[in-house]
Structure 1
């Protein structure tokens, strides 16, 4: 200002306006759509997998129940056979003791 000229100070803003690509908004929408479709596909896949595993579990559960019923029936049959054999042995033991005591008395 000593020279007599007037200086004009223009302040440039530090936050410059960002030039946006007109397609940038569309790119975000397409990206979001793709992510949403992938998410829906993943949920559908997991739902289907869950149904398949549930059906397989039900089948295995039913199979195990049938095997348990068969084993229970076999156990009952074996228990009955064991009781019958024990009863037969007791009768045979009583017969032997009776024969032995008769032979002792007859001598």
Structure 2
């Protein structure tokens, strides 16, 4: 489908409970939208992610013209990622070809 590499800041959204995301740069978000055609579901894009040596699956959320990559607490703790950090991300659009164990 498409593989993307970028760096982004870890940001916090404060709702009833805090959620953490990596904001995907605008240029990469535009390319992701094209690559996601056919797999996008209600605006969300399924992806396989590698972030600081931790691999996991999730779905990107559209927000204000870009995508946000959600970071579960288990992922942040495994990769020792703090709020405000700049992280290197590699992601592939789509779902894994075969079922995999996702510890997160």
- Regarding TM over 0.5, the answer is no
Which one has the largest radius of gyration? Answer: 1
How does the TM-score come out when normalised to structure 1?
Answer: 0.14
From the two aligned structures, give the one with the greater strand fraction: 2
- TM-score, normalised by the number of residues in structure 2: 0.14
Structure with bigger helix share is: 1
